[in-house]
Amino acid sequence: MAAADTAQMSLLFFGKPDDYKVMSEETLHDLGLDSLAKSVTEEPKEQLLILRILAQMNPSYEEAVLRQDIFNDLLNLPEKRKELLDLFNRIEYLKDYGSWRKSAEDKPDLWDLMHRMEEIHSYIMAVEELRKTLDDPAIKAEGLVSLKKCIDDIYEEACFAAMKKDIENLRTESSCIQSLTVGINVNSRFEAESLGLISVNSKQFKKSNIVGNFADAIASRDRIRDDTEWDGDMRVIPASISDRESSINMLDRQVTAINLMKNPLFMSRSTLSAVPDGDGSISSSLYLANAASKMTGHIVKKLRTVLSRYTDVSIVTISKLIPELIYYIRFAEYIEKQTKAGMTFCKPSVMRSDKGPYMKAEGFYNLKLIDAVKNADEIVANDLVFDKDHMIYLLTGANRGGKTTLTQAAGQLYVLAQGGIYVPAVNFEYTPVDMIFTHFPADEDKTTDLGRLGEECVRFKEIFTEATSESLILLNETFSTTSFEEGYYIATDAVRALTSRNIRVIYNTHMHKLAVDSQDKEKGISSIVMQTDNGKRSFKAVLMPPEGLSYARDIAEKYGVTYEMLTGGK
């Protein structure tokens, strides 16, 4: 991949923006994808990420293949997934909370520069580990191989090798700073008046050296020095404070420590008192930092010079790809978990569209059933084919017999397959769709202006207008909110119109007469029935003529209007 292409790198979207159509929130809900996202991850942000990605449909054969190859690698390499997640957490933290990308014009002090240096060092190590993780012969997917090349390009362009050497040299030199010696001037009432930095030291203070001497001096008045000179070649750099009140507020924490030493009840062995957080301690820290920067001028100058070379080092390209990889990883974890629980999934076989709309699904099921059963054996799987002889299915069957569940499941197959994810089926072959449209019953509060039938008609016309021969339309009890005669009339014309467009359709309806009158093999209209066995629902979809009015008793029983239920069996 050329250097100029690294900013455009993606592991999901390989087409142009105009190649994608976005499914509505209603469609995502109708297909149960919002529930699926919650099953895949507990993190709300990741749920939104998954829905955003799944919603974008592109009928590209090449994109579907690239996606599923990436997913296949990550599914089969669980250790790589763990390594990547750890690195992502580190890189995201640096991007969100790091300070090293600030402009060199900020004139940072010693501590700020050292902090930035440590962040850059952490970033270097993370990128090197990312290269190592991706440099594995087991990784075959073209997208992941391109990602490795992208990371290599970033590494070379940013001169990571030279940067690593410079940073490590600086870390070695700056690591010698282990402690500060501070002087505090007080008045007769032992109130702090000013603060000064005496020295920057290469060793930490211990009870046995200067701190111990200081504590002993405070405890014994006759050992307090008569002058302010310090033994050795040291110099004091004052941190002047113009406002007396600011001085007292800034140093009250330090003075408290000294007062404790003067108190006879002070029994602690420690001569280093922790300073609680507060405005005073923060301000004094800033003064100390400025003073320390002056006393270590050669280190500050070198830090600024080296870090200014790397202010343009960017982690945007890498961090932009993290959500895309999270999408694959979360689904890999989900599929792995469900497979171990006995659920069936398969790698989809995507086909080019030159042979026309096509699908062959064997042993498929609705993912929502996973949470509804105790054992995988309880799930009833089905088969379905879309080809020139079977383009429109009129699906009938008993109430609560699985019609809506089957309709949803068909949409889930396409969404997951085109998203690169394994699908809930024994086998799935398909040509991609450019969009999935759903027409499920609307909520009551959405139909107050037009009425239910009017709203259904408006929605269907919008769907029909936008759909193409590459689309999938799923209709669930459409035109069922009016009288049978009116619904049948509108539905008959709708099916005829859909036939003229050669669109893949599943029309789930209770209008058995519609299925009887409309089925036409030459036009690709087929009847499919959720079969029953002696009144018992099998949840199996069978290609056969509708069973007519045999379900009237089911409806009567549902609403308690059979003779026996009405009369109590009398």
Instruction: Give the tens place of pLDDT for each residue, 32-73.
Output: 999 999 999 999 999 999 999 999 999 999 999 999 999 999
Measured CA distances, 90 to 162, 215, 282, 500, 548 (Å) = 22, 43, 27, 55, 63
CA 297 to chain centre: 45
d(CA 100, CA 112): 9
pLDDT band at residue 383, thresholds of 50, 70 and 90? Answer: very high
When mean pLDDT is compared across 36-40, 353-357, 358-362, the lowest value belongs to 353-357
pLDDT of res. 77: 97
- The mean pLDDT value for 440-451 works out to 58
pLDDT band at residue 1, thresholds of 50, 70 and 90? Answer: very low
pTM given for the model: 0.73
Query: Looking at the predicted structure, is the pLDDT value of residue 243 above 50?
Result: no
- The mean pLDDT value for 201-218 works out to 58
| Encoded tokens for 376 | 């995988």
- The mean pLDDT value for 498-523 works out to 91
When mean pLDDT is compared across 205-219, 382-396, 439-453, the lowest value belongs to 205-219
pLDDT band at residue 262, thresholds of 50, 70 and 90? Answer: very low
In DSSP terms, which residues pair with 179 in a beta bridge?
A: 201
- The mean pLDDT value for 408-430 works out to 98
CA-nearest of 384, 408, 389 to 522 is: 389
d(CA 495, CA 509): 12
Report the amino acid identity of residue 496.
R
Buried b (16+ CB within 10 A) or exposed e, 403-432: bbbbbbbbbbbbbbbbbbbbbbbeebbbbb
Measured CA distances, 294 to 199, 290, 518, 521 (Å) = 11, 6, 89, 89
Contact 296, 175 (CB under 8 A): no
Contact 263, 257 (CB under 8 A): no
d(CA 318, CA 321): 5
d(CA 407, CA 474): 7
In DSSP terms, which residues pair with 535 in a beta bridge?
A: none
CA-nearest of 404, 546, 541, 545 to 478 is: 404
Residue pLDDT, tens place only, 544-566: 988 765 556 666 776 788 778 88
pLDDT band at residue 435, thresholds of 50, 70 and 90? Answer: very high
- The mean pLDDT value for 113-131 works out to 76
Buried b (16+ CB within 10 A) or exposed e, 539-554: bbbeeeebbeeebeeb
Report the amino acid identity of residue 546.
P
Domain ranges in the chain are 3-20+58-168+308-323, 179-295, 341-567
Q: Where is pLDDT greater, at 549 or 95?
A: 95
d(CA 110, CA 230): 24
Residue pLDDT, tens place only, 293-309: 555 555 566 656 655 55
Superfamily covering domain 341-567 = P-loop containing nucleotide triphosphate hydrolases (3.40.50.300)
Strand order, beta sheet including 427-430: 349-350, 427-430, 359-364, 382-386
What H or E segment, with its residue span, contains residue 351?
none
User: Within 13 Å of residue 534, how many CA atoms lie on the same side as its CB?
Assistant: 0
**How does DSSP assign 485-507, residue by residue?**
HHHHHHHHHHHHHHHHHT-EEEE
